[in-house]
C-alpha cells in the first residue's frame, strides 16, 4: 500500500509569533555553559514556569570576549524579560541593553 | 530624541571609581545629570566640606545633594542643594510627611510595613516627594521590600504623590540601564507616561 506523504502546511507569517531580539552587554565574568541557564532560571524565578514556556526565551549567540549576548524572545513578553534582567546584578554585574530589534539582521 | 535621565549616586561611588570610567558609563546609560549624595549622620557632618571632581566633558553634570539620616537634625540644614530625609520607620514617616519644609522623603520601606494612607495624604498636602532606592529591590532579602512597594506605590499614585526612583549606587554594578528600569516599574501598576515623568528631571523641580 502506497502511503501518501502529506506535507505540513507552513504557518503563514501573519500567524507566527513575532519575535524580539536583544543585544545585551554585561560586566562580570561568566561561563558559557552557565549563561543560558542563568537567564532561564532568573526569568522563571521572576515570572513563573508558564510565562517562561510561553515567552520562548532563547540564547542565540554569546560572545565571552566582548561580554555580549543576543537573546530572542516572543514580542509580547519583552517587557517581562527586560524587567527580569533587573535581578541579575549579582551574576552579571552592570547590564546594558545595547540594542533591540525585531529581526536578527537589523540587530547585527 | 532619546530621553536624558538623572540619577542619584552615593559619594562612595565617586571616591572608589575613576571619574573617566564613570563618565563613560553614564553616557552609555543616557544619564545627563548625576547628583552625588553625602550622608549627614550627626551634627559634625555639616561642617565637612564636600568637593566634587571635575568632569572632562560637558555631557555629564555632577551636582551635590545630601541625605539626612536623622530627621530631628533637619533644622541645622542651611544649604540650597537637594536634601533627602531618610525614613525607614513609622515614626519618621509621620514626622516627615507632616513637616512643612521637608521636600523629599527617602525610603518609606522598612522591615515591616510602616507607611499608611494617612501618610500618603499628608505627603500630597505638604507636596512631599517620596524617593525609592531601587537597589533595595535587588538585595537578597528583597521579598518584603517588593511586597511593601506593591502596596505603597499604587497608594501614592492614587493620592497623586510624586515619586522618584533612583539607584543610590555605591558601586558601578548598582547602576541600572533605564530600559530595564522602566520595564521593572511597570510591575507596580504604573503607566508608561507616569514612569517617564518620574524618570525625567522635571520631577526634581520644587514648587
Class for the domain spanning A17-107: alpha beta
Nearest CA in chain B to A26: B173
Determine what percent of chain B is predicted with pLDDT higher than 90: 8
- Residue B94's pLDDT is 85
Contacts of A50 (CB under 8 A, 6+ apart): none
**Cβ-based contacts of B142 with chain A (< 8 Å):** 87
Beta strands in chain A (DSSP E): 19-25, 58-63, 68-74, 96-101
Q: What is the mean pLDDT of residues B81-94?
A: 81
Residues in chain A: 108
Segments making up each domain of chain A, as ranges: 17-107
Q: ipTM of the predicted structure?
A: 0.84
- Residue B1's pLDDT is 54
User: What CATH code would you report for B5-204?
Assistant: 3.20.20.140
Reading the block at residue B126, the C-alpha cell is 505638604
Q: Are strands A19-25 and A96-101 parallel, antiparallel or unpaired?
A: antiparallel
Coil, helix or strand for A78? helix
Contact B180 A100 (CB under 8 A): no
- Examine the pLDDT at A47 and tell me if it is beyond 90: yes
Position B76 confidence tier, pLDDT thresholds 50, 70, 90: confident
- Examine the pLDDT at A24 and tell me if it is beyond 90: yes
Q: List phi, psi (to 5°) of B76.
A: -80, -15
Exposure of B86 in the CB half-sphere (CA atoms within 13 A): 14
**Cβ-based contacts of A82 with chain B (< 8 Å):** 179-180, 183-184
**Cβ-based contacts of B175 with chain A (< 8 Å):** 94
Contacts of B202 (CB under 8 A, 6+ apart): none
N- to C-terminal Cα distance for chain A?
51
Coil, helix or strand for B78? coil
Kindly report each contact of residues B189-194 with a partner whose C-beta sits within 8 Å and lies 24 or more positions away, as own/partner: B189/B153, B189/B154, B189/B157, B190/B153, B190/B157, B194/B157
Coil, helix or strand for A30? coil
Reading the block at residue B155, the C-alpha cell is 497608594
Contacts of B6 (CB under 8 A, 6+ apart): B31, B32, B33, B34, B35, B166, B200, B201, B204
Q: Are strands A96-101 and B31-40 parallel, antiparallel or unpaired?
A: unpaired
Segments making up each domain of chain B, as ranges: 5-204
Residue B177 CA, distance from chain mean position: 16
Distance CA B129, CA B122 (A): 11
- Residue B202's pLDDT is 75
| pTM: predicted TM-score of the whole model, two decimal places | 0.85
Reading the block at residue A54, the C-alpha cell is 510561553
Q: What strands lie across the sheet with A68-74, from one edge to the other?
A: A58-63, A68-74, A19-25, A96-101
Nearest-5° Cα angle at A55, A85 to B151: 55
Q: What is the mean pLDDT of residues A11-35?
A: 87
Q: For the segment B18-53, what is each residue's pLDDT rounded down to a tens digit?
A: 888 888 898 888 888 898 988 888 777 777 787 888
Contact B29 A96 (CB under 8 A): yes
- Examine the pLDDT at B121 and tell me if it is beyond 80: yes
Q: For the segment A73-105, what is each residue's pLDDT rounded down to a tens digit?
A: 999 999 999 999 999 988 888 999 999 999 988
- Residue B206's pLDDT is 64
Nearest CA in chain A to B169: A94
Q: What is the mean pLDDT of residues A4-30?
A: 84
- Examine the pLDDT at A49 and tell me if it is beyond 90: yes
> In angstroms, what separates the C-alpha of B73 from chain A's closest C-alpha?
35
Range from A85-89, B108-112, B119-123, B163-167 carrying the lowest mean pLDDT: B108-112
3-state secondary structure B15-32: HHCCHHHHHHHHHHCCEE
**Cβ-based contacts of B184 with chain A (< 8 Å):** 82-83, 86
Contacts of B167 (CB under 8 A, 6+ apart): B7, B8, B9, B133, B134, B135, B174, B175, B176
Amino acid at each position: 500500500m502506497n502511503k501518501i506523504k502529506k506535507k505540513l502546511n507552513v504557518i503563514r507569517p501573519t500567524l507566527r509569533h513575532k519575535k524580539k531580539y536583544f543585544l545585551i552587554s554585561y560586566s562580570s565574568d561568566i561561563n558559557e555553559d552557565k549563561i543560558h541557564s542563568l537567564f532561564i532560571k532568573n526569568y522563571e524565578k521572576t515570572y513563573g514556569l508558564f510565562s517562561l514556556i510561553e515567552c520562548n526565551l532563547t540564547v542565540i549567540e554569546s560572545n565571552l570576549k566582548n561580554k555580549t549576548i543576543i537573546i530572542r524572545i516572543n514580542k509580547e513578553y519583552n517587557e517581562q524579560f527586560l524587567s527580569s534582567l533587573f535581578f541579575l546584578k549579582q551574576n552579571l554585574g552592570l547590564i546594558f541593553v545595547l540594542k533591540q530589534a525585531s529581526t536578527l539582521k537589523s540587530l547585527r | 530624541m532619546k530621553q536624558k535621565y538623572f540619577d542619584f549616586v552615593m559619594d562612595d561611588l565617586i571616591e572608589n571609581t575613576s571619574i573617566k570610567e564613570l563618565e563613560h558609563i553614564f553616557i552609555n546609560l543616557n544619564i545627563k545629570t548625576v547628583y552625588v549624595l553625602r550622608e549627614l549622620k550627626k551634627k559634625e557632618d555639616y561642617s565637612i566640606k564636600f568637593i566634587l571632581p571635575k568632569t572632562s566633558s560637558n555631557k555629564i553634570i555632577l551636582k551635590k545633594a545630601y541625605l539626612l539620616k536623622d530627621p530631628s537634625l533637619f533644622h541645622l540644614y542651611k544649604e540650597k542643594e537637594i536634601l533627602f530625609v531618610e525614613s525607614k520607620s513609622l515614626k519618621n514617616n509621620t514626622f516627615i510627611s507632616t513637616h512643612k519644609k521637608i521636600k523629599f522623603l527617602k525610603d518609606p520601606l522598612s522591615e515591616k510595613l510602616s507607611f499608611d494612607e494617612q501618610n500618603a495624604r499628608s505627603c500630597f498636602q505638604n507636596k512631599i516627594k517620596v524617593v525609592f532606592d531601587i537597589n533595595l529591590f535587588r538585595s537578597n532579602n528583597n521579598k518584603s521590600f517588593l511586597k511593601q512597594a506593591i502596596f505603597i506605590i499604587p497608594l501614592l499614585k492614587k493620592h497623586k504623590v510624586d515619586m522618584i526612583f533612583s539607584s543610590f549606587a555605591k558601586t558601578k554594578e548598582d547602576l541600572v540601564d533605564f530600559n530595564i528600569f522602566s520595564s521593572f516599574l511597570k510591575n507596580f501598576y504604573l503607566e508608561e507616561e507616569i514612569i517617564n515623568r518620574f524618570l525625567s528631571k522635571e520631577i526634581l523641580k520644587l514648587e
